[in-house]
């Protein structure tokens, strides 16, 4: 029995998953100290502009090119309690859909004022905010050439390794979402919707840039799978 809220490891529509997923089901075991502990990151690792991708790589005060946006939200546990001190790292393509990465084969231009990464640590109420530019969609080889919807990669550290999460935020209304095999690898349609940042005009007047709201829920100690719990574990 599978957890239909998490993606299938092997999803043939996403071709590379077929050779990069184990053939055996992972072994379900009780967590031990290594899962209920984890690294904790202090706010003193952050520079002032680490969460501002429009400025944090810019030269001579110039800004990154593109539709400026902010992405904000709350990180919570499964019971809705805010999670403070969660390190969030994000990375993304530039407005043209090009990553600042030596392995990106795209011939789209780099933006010399855009690095494409940022980080932030949630406040006591679990809140985070990034300012950035809307990333471009881009083609990639899958079953022939396919298009990734616009997305921002998110990496989160809760207070224990059990909560470690890497995911992606998509943008409300992007027509490429529904054909994306990475999104569709999640069996539950409602769970897929949790990855879509919602247009949020609440702070737009103040910031003069478009806002997106993306809340993130990190798991607790409750096991993800119940149905195949191994006898004696």
Partner 1 sequence: MIKIKNFIDTPSQTAGPFLHIGCTPSITGINIFKDELGSTPFKNISLNEEINIKGKIYDGNNDPIIDAMIETWQCDENGKYFNYQGFSRRVTDFKTGEYQLKTIRPGNQINEDGTISPSYILFWIVARGMNRPLITRMYFDENEIKSDVMFKNLNIQDRLKTLIPYTEDKKNFIFDIHLQGKKETIFFEF
Active-site residues, by number, are: 99, 138, 148, 151, 153
- Site string (28-67) toward partner 1, x via CB under 8 A: xxxxxxxx-xxxxx---xxx--x-----xx----------
The single residue listed with the structure tokens 């002032």 is 48
- Among the listed ranges 62-70, 93-101, 120-128, 129-137, the one in contact with partner 1 (CB under 8 A) is 93-101
Task: Convert 115-137 to b/e letters by CB count within 10 Å (16 or more is b).
Answer: bbbbbbbbbeebebbbbbbbbbb
- By CB under 8 A, tell whether 164 contacts partner 1: yes
| Spatial distance between the Cα atoms of 130 and 213, rounded to a whole number of angstroms | 11
Nearer to partner 1, 199 or 220 (CB): 220
Please report, as residue ranges, which positions from 195 to 224 form the binding site for partner 1 (by CB under 8 A): 195, 216-220, 222-224
| Spatial distance between the Cα atoms of 138 and 124, rounded to a whole number of angstroms | 36
> Which residues, in sequence order, are CB contacts of 36 under 8 Å at separation 6+?
160, 161, 162, 221
- By CB under 8 A, tell whether 165 contacts partner 1: yes
Helix, coil or strand: residue 180: coil
- Among the listed ranges 63-71, 124-132, 158-166, 200-208, the one in contact with partner 1 (CB under 8 A) is 158-166
- By CB under 8 A, tell whether 5 contacts partner 1: yes
Nearer to partner 1, 69 or 121 (CB): 121
- By CB under 8 A, tell whether 72 contacts partner 1: no
Sign of CA dihedral 114, 119, 122, 126: positive
* Binding residues for partner 1, total number by CB under 8 A: 89
- By CB under 8 A, tell whether 179 contacts partner 1: no
């Amino acid at each position: 029995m599978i957890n239909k809220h998490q993606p299938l490891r092997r999803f043939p529509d996403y071709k590379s998953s077929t050779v990069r997923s184990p053939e055996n089901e992972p072994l379900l075991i009780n967590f031990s100290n290594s899962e209920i502990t984890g690294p904790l990151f202090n706010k003193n690792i952050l520079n002032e502009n680490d969460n501002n991708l429009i400025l944090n790589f810019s030269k001579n005060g110039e800004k990154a090119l593109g539709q400026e946006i902010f992405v904000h939200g709350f990180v919570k546990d499964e019971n809705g309690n805010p999670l403070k001190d969660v390190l969030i790292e994000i990375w993304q393509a530039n407005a043209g859909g090009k990553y600042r990465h030596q392995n990106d084969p795209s011939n789209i231009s780099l933006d010399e004022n855009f690095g494409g990464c940022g980080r932030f640590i949630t406040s006591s109420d679990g809140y985070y905010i990034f300012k950035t530019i809307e990333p471009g969609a881009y083609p990639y080889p899958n079953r022939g050439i396919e298009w990734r919807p616009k997305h921002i990669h998110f990496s989160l550290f809760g207070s224990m390794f059990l909560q470690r999460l890497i995911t992606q935020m998509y943008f409300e209304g992007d027509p490429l979402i529904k054909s994306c095999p990475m999104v569709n690898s999640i069996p539950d349609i409602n769970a897929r919707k949790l990855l879509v940042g919602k247009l949020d005009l609440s702070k737009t007047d103040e910031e003069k840039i478009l806002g997106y709201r993306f809340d993130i829920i990190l798991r607790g100690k409750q096991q993800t799978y119940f149905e195949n719990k191994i006898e004696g574990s």
